[in-house]
Structure 1
Amino acid sequence: MDNNSSTASDASLATYAPGAPITGERKLNLHLQEQIPKPYIARALVAVDQSHPNGTEGRDHHDMSVLQQHVSFFDRNKDGIIYPWETYKGFRAIGCGVFLSLLAGFLINFLLGYSTQPGWIPSPLLPIHIRNIHKCKHGSDSETYDTEGRFDPAKFDAIFSKYAITHSDALTGAELHKMLQANRNLTDFIGRGIARAEWQLLYSLAKDERGLLHRDAIRGLFDGSLFEQLEKKRKGE
């Protein structure tokens, strides 16, 4: 029997509605609560899944939200502010070319910087204040980050239960494209563009030799630990 099939005994727990075939195509993991304690509670400090119930082992969260941890890799001097040249250095550190890193250093800080400012007067240096990075959450995403920057285990797991058809814990390039198409919000052209750029960059940097983007790499993206791994790999450590 399909795990997502509606039963007469408990329709209140059904995740499949026969009148909405898409709910059968994009399935949810009905056993997630057995695999992760209270998966419906978004975690503020760690990115958890079935293989990482306590988040990334041995990693200090520094009392930052998971979203803050994601961006803090690019704060190269750890002063809580990311300037365009730091974004550039961060992109270079994970293996991106000079042109892409320069483009990212300008565009990311230009698009996100003002939203994080502590006041109304914009800075010509385009700083991103990590303290306020939650204000930069965009639409057309997986919703794994909530609006405060916490990590939602159920939303993260849904990436794979819905779209990882070929391999349960990895996305192919085609499946990634399907997820991006499905996550699009109506008229959200900026959010769509940012989401596509983020995921395509992740795929180019972290896919394996078979073209698979694994769960561990995606989870590491959310808490920033993947960036640290890529930097160490590039340095040959």
Structure 2
Amino acid sequence: MASPSTDLSLETEAPNAPVTRERRLNTDLQEHLPKPYLARAMEAVDPSHPKGTEGRDPRGMSVLQQHVAFFDRNGDGIVYPWDTFRGMRAIGVGFFLSLALAFFINLVMSYPTQPGWLPSLLLSIHVKNIHKAKHGSDSETYDTEGRFDPSKFDAIFSKYGRTHPNALTKDELNSMIKANRNIYDFLGWIAAAGEWNLLYSVAKDKDGLLQRETVRGVFDASLFERLQDRKKSS
């Protein structure tokens, strides 16, 4: 029970809601990162990268746009299914899975990003409108405008990183996916599970862990660039 001097307005755990104790928040984040509550438009920041990924030019794009722009292979601002396929292959995804993902991703995300009311027969995704295709049942690290929310990103690990403070095991990853589900959001459930499991399959370390820096890199696409360079060099 809280003492009389406790400021209940600052408590992050409620005695009658055990889930708030099981999934803890980092109450000291502001001591390691300036304004962690402030969603960053162009940089994916955390305490180890307070200014984002060094050496990368965001090119005026939101963090979500940067994530998608990796698949814009010719830089024209539009991602077609064959662009998605090539991007998946570039980061080490298998041929047939890349083929399936290219169709599914563009099928789902194409129409919301169109500049007008008519759908695209070529299933094009417009990078500038990608915030309109954000799905639910996710970590909410991207806000609805495509900014990067440092507090939501940190919560991925403070809530679910039980074995290691800066990494997720496969079981912990699955726990997070299930916990983030919004009621009846079946498309969001499928999309979130697919995204995280794909990330785990291509980027887990030798101990089967998904490291914090790996996850941060997927949000601004710096991980994609590293995976692409690694595949080229090998």
One-letter amino acid matched to 2:46 = D
Q: In the alignment, which residue of structure 1 is the partner of 2:177?
A: 180
Runs of 4+ in 1 over 4 A off after TM superposition: none
1:116 to 2:95 alignment: no
1:130 to 2:127 alignment: yes
Q: In the alignment, which residue of structure 1 is the partner of 2:158?
A: 161
Q: CA deviation at 1:6?
A: 4.9
Q: In the alignment, which residue of structure 2 is the partner of 1:82?
A: 79
CA distance in 1, matches of 2:70, 2:202: 16
8 Å contact 1:92–1:98 — kept in the other structure? yes
Percent of aligned pairs with the same amino acid: 64
Q: CA deviation at 1:104?
A: 1.2
8 Å contact 1:113–1:127 — kept in the other structure? yes
One-letter amino acid matched to 1:130 = V
1:143 to 2:134 alignment: no
CA distance in 1, matches of 2:225, 2:156: 23
Q: In the alignment, which residue of structure 2 is the partner of 1:52?
A: 49
One-letter amino acid matched to 1:158 = A
1:40 to 2:37 alignment: yes
- Paired residues in the alignment total 233
Q: CA deviation at 1:7?
A: 5.1
One-letter amino acid matched to 1:115 = P
Structure 2: runs of 5 or more not aligned: none
Q: In the alignment, which residue of structure 2 is the partner of 1:103?
A: 100
Structure 1: runs of 5 or more not aligned: none
1:211 is matched with which residue: 185, 203, 208?
Answer: 208
One-letter amino acid matched to 1:27 = R
2:188 is matched with which residue: 191, 216, 228?
Answer: 191
Query: Structure 1 residues 34 and 119 mapped into 2: Cα distance closer, same or farther (>3 Å)?
Result: same
Q: What is the aligned-residue RMSD (CA, Å)?
A: 1.0
One-letter amino acid matched to 1:23 = T
Cα deviation per residue 1:109-168 (whole Å; 9 max; x = unaligned)?
111001000011111111000000000111100000000000000000000000000000
CA distance in 2, matches of 1:7, 1:24: 18
TM-score for the superposition, normalised by structure 2? 0.98
Q: In the alignment, which residue of structure 1 is the partner of 2:8?
A: 11
Cα deviation per residue 1:166-201 (whole Å; 9 max; x = unaligned)?
000000000000001100111000000000000000
CA distance in 2, matches of 1:217, 1:174: 17
1:29 to 2:26 alignment: yes
